[in-house]
Structure 1
Amino acid sequence: MSAVHVVTGAGSGIGQAVAQRLAARGDRLVLVARDAGRADDLAAAFPGATAIIADLGDPTGFAAAVDGAGLPERVDSVIHAAGVVDLGKVADLPVDAWTSQLTVNLVAPAELTRLLLPRVRAARGQVLFVNSGAGLNAHPEWSAYAASKHGLKALADALRGEEAPNGVRVTTVYPGRTATPMQAKVHAQEGAAYDPAAWIDVESVATAVVTALDLPRDAVISDLTVRPGPR
């Protein structure tokens, strides 16, 4: 029986690279899409995948979306790879910059995990959070994003202890700057030239994620930091 993976952020960047790896080996994908149009795009990119149509900016709709998706009884992993970033000084960031990043980067993963936990428990599966170096250290102008990612670390740490008795593994991967569309946006916000070759290749992070998923059951990679290598 093929493993079943629920993936957010499969439309680009790390989430897309991970989904491609899993699909290539014959695993079954359940992809979270913000609307029906996006679900069609993902279906074209990943034939045979199932969609959960849910806007990560509005987690109140997740329960109905999950109930209506026709998911299997067992889910082997939930991979949280979606995220948003909006840089700025604390003195300048408007409240919607805070609420959007906290909602998409923290509240949405918490709610989706809660709803899928019975299926993950049934599979003795795994929840994997793609965090960020900003989840460990906050730098100037990164306050809201870093706060959301620090919160995501707290979510993972608490969940790991709570779900270990149920056989559920919990992993957090902390990539440094990775060559993704989000990184291009960050550079634009910073007013800096963007050279993808200067940063981690997205496939390297995907390798780290899949390694954590495939680790034998006698162990768990709880926290994995991935940094740009020497150039």
Structure 2
Amino acid sequence: MAIHVITGAGSGIGAAVARRLHARGDELILLARDAARGKDLAAAFPGARTLVGDLADPDRLSWAFSHQSLPDRVDSLLHIAGVVDLGRVGDLTPKHWRHQLDVNLVAPAELTRHFLPQLRLSRGHIVFVNSGAGLRANPDWAAYAASKHGLKALADALRQEEHQAGIRVTSVHPGRTASPMQAKVHRQEGKEYDAERWIDPESVATTVLTALDLPRDAELTDLTVRPGR
């Protein structure tokens, strides 16, 4: 039975991935931003463990984990949580920049640091669910795209650093996916949201599981997923 640490399991792509892994009997360790959210996740995924740590405050993750028991073994670390706040460069404040950089980039780096010893022992897998914005930047997306470009750089460097340890590292770059985050983006853009136009989170979950289940003789490094309609 594989053991997976997952962020963002409460909705969207993260929930879809967690459901698939839970259904096949894998063990889940779900990161929650607070104790109340942890109870919700534990109820949604019976038998799953929860860890409490706020990705919006990566400086305190070490303190939070010091008061909890981290698993001795981890087979995969799945970075799926993320935030987005659109705005033109001339309007974005340091608060907007820091929030997106902290949640989307600094916190994944800090989580990875904490779980690398366990992943080295298991010759595990780290998956970063990135974004199409991690490959290109469009108007109004500067802060989000910067965080996601940085996340790709983190994954690329980490892959080379941990190759000899047997750790596989995959970046998944979905296009617009039907999720609460996408609904928020449409509100910020002043556009009507139609979930049918965008990728189903289950399709992105299939991509993530394909990378995880690939035989050990190969590694999927970068995957791009685009809406098919």
Instruction: Bin the TM-score by the shorter chain.
Output: over 0.9
Distance in 2, matches of 1:3 and 1:61, equals: 28
Deviation string 1:93-114 (CA, Å, 9 cap, x unpaired) is: 1110000000000000000000
Q: 1:7·1:31 contact (CA, 8 Å) conserved in 2?
A: yes
8 Å CA contact 1:18–1:209 kept in 2: the answer is: yes
Confirm or deny: 8 A CA contact 1:124 1:166 kept in the other structure. Answer: yes
Secondary structure of the corresponding residue to residue 99 of structure 1 = helix
Distance 1:118 1:69 in 2: 17
| Residues 73 and 122 in structure 1, CA contact (< 8 A), matched pair in contact too | no
Aligned residues: 229
Q: Give the structure 2 partner of residue 60 of structure 1.
A: 59
Q: Which residues of 2 match residues 103-142 of structure 1 at below 5 A?
A: 103-142=102-141
What is the CA–CA distance in structure 2 between the aligned matches of 1:120 and 1:138, rounded to whole Å? 32
Q: Which letter maps to 2:211?
A: A
SS at match of 2:133: helix
Q: Distance in 1 between matches of 2:147 and 2:71?
A: 30
**SS class of match (2:162):** helix
Matched-pair contact (CA < 8 Å) for 1:8–1:80 = yes
Q: Where do 1:15-164 residues align within 5 Å?
A: 15-164=14-163
Q: Aligned partner of 1:146: which letter?
A: A
The 2-side partners of 1:92 and 1:145 are apart by: 14
Deviation at 1:60, TM superposition (A): 1.7
Q: Which residue of 2 aligns with 1:201?
A: 200
Within 1, Cα distance between the matches of 2:61 and 2:94? 23
Distance in 1 (alpha carbons) for counterparts of 2:71 and 2:130: 27
Secondary structure of 2:116's counterpart equals helix
Structure 1, unpaired ranges of 5+: none
Give the Cα separation in 2 of the matches to 1:69 and 1:138.
38
Q: How much is the aligned-residue C-alpha RMSD, in angstroms? A: 0.8
Q: Distance in 2 between matches of 1:148 and 1:83?
A: 10
Residues 36-87 of structure 1: per-residue CA shift (max 9 Å, x gap): 0000000000111111100001112222333443233210000000000000
d(CA) in 2 for partners of 1:77, 1:46: 18
Letter aligned with residue 117 of structure 2: P
Are the counterparts in 2 of residues 88 and 141 from structure 1 also a CA contact under 8 Å? yes
Are the equivalent residues in 2 in contact too, given 1:4–1:77 (CA < 8 A)?
yes
What is the distance in 2 between the residues matched to 1:183 and 1:121? Answer: 35
CA displacement 1:160-207 (0-9 Å, x = unmatched):
000000000000000000001000000000000000000001100000
Structure 2: give runs of 5+ residues left out of the alignment: none
Offset, 1:92: 0.7
